[in-house]
């Protein structure tokens, strides 16, 4: 979920090696735990209706940890929008502040809709690339 507490900083160890690396810092909020509990409860209801021999319920607890979430599709950070005051990139994934910077990836999403975002990321990348080729290269400047 999008939240104001999410931060991004520079990885100091990577900088010492001459590599520019952004390091996101975030954690689950109380509301995300409530949403997770709600969905878990609905899944348990469905499972019980199927009358299984056993149900094992694993509730999300505590802080975010990379170890059990190796396939998490983290999103956000460079939110796409129609207003430079509330977003980082326009609908073509072009930076509002630096017109020759196009930011591809799931960072454009305010939150993960629930499934692997790869298809949507690819579609947006094609959309952006088409605008770069057909519009930006002919007349550089803001596309929005």
How do residues 23-43 score in pLDDT, each as one tens digit?
Answer: 666 778 888 899 999 999 999
Q: What is the pLDDT of residues 64-97, one digit of tens each?
A: 776 666 566 778 888 899 999 999 999 999 999 9
**Domain of 130, in residue numbers:** 73-144
Q: What is the pLDDT of residues 10-27, one digit of tens each?
A: 555 556 666 655 666 677
Q: Which of 73, 95, 96, 143 is catalytic?
A: 73
* 73 catalytic residue (yes or no): yes
48 and 78 inside one domain: no
Model confidence, pTM: 0.58
Q: What are phi and psi of 18, to 5 degrees?
A: 85, 15
What is the structure's pLDDT at 3? Answer: 61
108 and 92 inside one domain: yes
Number of domains in the chain: 2
CA distance 75 to 113: 10
96 and 41 inside one domain: no
């Amino acid at each position: 979920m999008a939240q104001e507490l999410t931060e991004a900083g520079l990885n100091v160890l990577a900088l010492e090696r001459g590599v520019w690396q952004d390091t996101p810092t975030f954690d689950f909020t109380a509301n995300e735990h409530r949403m997770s509990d709600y969905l878990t409860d609905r899944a348990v209801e469905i499972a019980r209706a199927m009358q299984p021999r056993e149900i094992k319920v694993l509730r999300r607890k505590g802080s975010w940890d990379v170890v059990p979430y190796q396939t998490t599709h983290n999103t956000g950070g460079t939110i796409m929008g129609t207003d430079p005051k509330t977003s980082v990139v326009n609908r073509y994934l072009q930076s509002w502040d630096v017109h020759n910077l196009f930011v591809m990836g799931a960072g454009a999403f305010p939150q993960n809709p629930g499934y692997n975002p790869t298809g949507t990321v690819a579609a947006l990348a094609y959309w952006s690339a088409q605008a770069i080729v057909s519009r930006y290269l002919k007349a550089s400047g803001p596309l929005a």
